[in-house]
Amino acid sequence: MKLSFRIFLWFSLVIAAVAAALLVSAPWLTRTRPRLQRWEQSSEAALVLRAAEVAAGIERRGPDVVESFRRGGPREPRLQVFVLDRSGHDMRGLAVPDDVRELGERALASGAEAAERLATLHLAARPATAPDGRVFAVVAALSRPPGLLDLLEPRVLVPRVIALMLVLGVLAFGLAGHLVRPLAAVREAAGKLARGDLAARVGRPVAGRHDEIGQLARDFDAMAERLEALVGAQRRLLGDVSHELRSPLARLRVAAELLRQGDGNNANDAVERIEREVARVDELVGQLLALSRLEAGVEVERAPVDLKALVESIGADAALEARNRGCEIRVDTQVAIVLEGSVRLLRSAVENVVRNAIHFTARGTVAEVALTVEGGAAARRAFIRVSDHGPGVPESALERVFDPFFRVEEARERGAGGVGLGLAIAARAVHLHGGTITARNAPSGGLVVEIALPLPATARVGAELAPVAPGGREG
């Protein structure tokens, strides 16, 4: 239930409660309006008295006496007297309202007094016979709306207003608590998170609500989990960088000590050792900078990229390294593909994956690279699959092979693998192109890394493509 609908429902219930209270109490209030009843009775009595006075004057002195009773005077300025003949016309030519004429005709027909109340108009009629034998109907009319106090009846209304205010106050307090309590829980969790408690969560029952506040709580918890994961990753990254730098720096200190001893043979070995360790540190720093730029969301430069030429070029460059390790590399590009992207980033991604396969494949085996296109016209994707015949990766670690500095525990030492940044750089580069990268163990052994790149409508696939600049390195 959305919060907007819940608020609407609360106010609807309040309105219904007020309406129900008014309906239930209306008959009771109507029966106990003494001020309004006294006003009605006094108005009717005044009209009857005035009609009787005018009728008595007509019976004694004739209809000419009516002029002195035309208005009610200063106390009743809205009181008016009509003297109607049998045809319903006022003897002085006044315009006669229909209600006045009907009541006069009724009094003449019955020969008795008649009274009627129509909203704020009060009427009283009485027949009168002039000395000359003519018969008239004297109708006194008073249009006087009741005063505010007459209608409100404070002695009755005040308790009702107090009761309604109490009911509305209870409902409003319940609504306020319904809205404020979960928001207070979110605020408290946000305060803990701001103070450095990365484990702070809103949790249930607030996150279990099915309205906007519940969605806010779930989004906050997801954000907190993401922040905790990112901070943890940064801490692990710092530890891994420290670990990777400690070994070459220790060897540099040993080499420096050999140089200080002054032995010629040892000095040459020390210089070579220094060169190797400096190269390793330089490689580590370069990869860290590349990873940092990719994680910062570097803008991808867009240009036509021939994936077939790119993969074949990487395979040719890796062939020499494969031979030095006693293995081979085989490239199978079934179709030509040209898409918009960054040659530099795509080359870095594919090259890191291929070098990783060459490093871990067993001697005398073949590392394979395949380029294919799969999917229909509306969802085509280019797949680059790189497989080796190495030891593979434990199933529990497959999702972590693309994390920075992650290596299988048994291969933690520098001699058994790189610094653990190649696949992380590849993953960031692929994601910047809207693609995905996954790893799985092959049934026959070894690891299969699969890069999937979306092919939009502008991508060109087929052997009839126009020539495209080779997928070489960008500057």
Tens-place pLDDT, residues 93-105: 788 888 889 988 8
The percent of residues in the chain predicted with pLDDT above 90, rounded, is 12
Residue 320 forms part of a structural domain: yes
pLDDT, position 265: 63
Number of domains in the chain: 2
pLDDT over 90 at 369, yes or no: yes
First to last CA, the chain: 56
**What confidence tens digit (pLDDT) does each residue in 442-466 have?**
988 899 999 999 887 767 776 434 4
Taking alpha carbons only, the member of 77, 28, 39, 73 closest to residue 53 is 73
Quote the DSSP letter at residue 318.
H
pLDDT above 60: residue 232: yes
What is the band of 475 on the pLDDT scale with cuts at 50, 70, 90? very low
pLDDT, residue 469, reads 44
Q: What is the mean pLDDT of residues 382-410?
A: 81
Element (H, E) at 315: helix 307-324
DSSP per-residue string spanning 393-425 = --GGGGGGTTSTT---GGG-SGGGS--S-HHHH
For residue 170, tell me if it sits in a domain. no
Q: What is the pLDDT of residue 312?
A: 92
Once rounded to an integer, what is the mean pLDDT over residues 207-234?
A: 84
339 occurs within a structural domain: yes
In this structure, the number of other CB atoms found within 10 A of the CB of residue 453 comes to 23
pLDDT at residue 6 greater than cutoff 50 = yes
Rounded Cα gap, residues 347 and 310, in angstroms: 7
Reported as a pLDDT band with limits 50, 70 and 90, residue 387 is very high
Name the pLDDT band for 262 (thresholds 50, 70, 90): low
Asked if residue 189 belongs to a domain, the reply is: no
Length of the chain: 475
460, exposed or middle or buried, with CB in 10 Å at 0-12, 13-18, 19+?
middle
Alpha carbon of residue 332 to chain centroid:
48
- Give the pLDDT score at 467: 44
CATH number, domain of 108, equals 3.30.450.160
pLDDT at 458 (0 to 100) = 67
Torsion on CA atoms 21, 22, 23, 29, rounded to nearest 10:
110
* Angle, vertex CA 373, rays to CA 367 and CA 374, nearest 5: 110
For residue 233, being part of any structural domain is answered with no
Q: Residue 436's pLDDT is what?
A: 92
Domain for residue 208, yes or no? no
pLDDT value at position 468?
45
Specify which residues 386 forms β-bridges with.
Answer: 369, 449
Residue-level pLDDT at 156? 58
- Asked if residue 284 is part of any domain, the answer here is no
Q: What are residue 17's DSSP bridge partners?
A: none
Burial class (CB in 10 A: 0-12, 13-18, 19+), 430: buried
Q: What average pLDDT does range 38-59 have in this prediction?
A: 79
pLDDT at 448: 93
* Model confidence band, residue 377 (pLDDT cutoffs 50, 70, 90): low
Last residue of a domain, one of 104, 122, 150: 150
Q: What are phi and psi of 257, to 5 degrees?
A: -65, -40
Sign of CA dihedral 415, 417, 421, 422: positive
CATH number of the CATH domain containing 426: 3.30.565.10
Residues 112-133 have pLDDT tens digits of 888 887 766 788 898 988 888 8
In a domain, residue 410? The reply is: yes
Which pLDDT value is given to residue 470? 44
Reading phi first (left if > 0) and then psi (alpha if -120 to 50, else beta), residue 115 is in beta
Summarize pLDDT for 296-347 with one digit per residue, the tens: 655 567 788 899 999 999 999 899 889 988 999 999 987 888 888 888 888 8
Q: Kindly report, residue by residue over 122-179, the tens digit of the pLDDT.
A: 888 989 888 888 888 888 888 766 555 555 555 656 676 777 777 777 777 777 777 7
From the list 298, 402, 277, 377, the residue with the least C-alpha distance to 342 is: 298
DSSP character at residue 81: E
| DSSP secondary structure code for residue 71 in this structure | B
What is the structure's pLDDT at 471? 47
Q: Are 308 and 335 in contact (CB under 8 A)?
A: yes
Is residue 74 packed enough to be buried (19+ CB in 10 Å), middle (13-18) or exposed (0-12)?
exposed
> What is the rounded CA–CA span in Å between residue 429 and residue 343?
11
pTM of whole model > 0.75? no
Average pLDDT, the chain: 77
Residue where one domain finishes, among candidates 150, 180, 206: 150
Of 124, 150, 176, the last residue of a domain is: 150
What pLDDT is recorded for position 378?
A: 65
User: Domain containing 41: what range?
Assistant: 34-150
Q: Would the pLDDT of 472 be above 50? A: no
Reduced 3-state DSSP string for 431-466: HHCCCEEEEEECCCCCEEEEEEEECCCCCEECCCCC
Report the C-alpha gap between 422 and 420 in whole angstroms.
Answer: 6
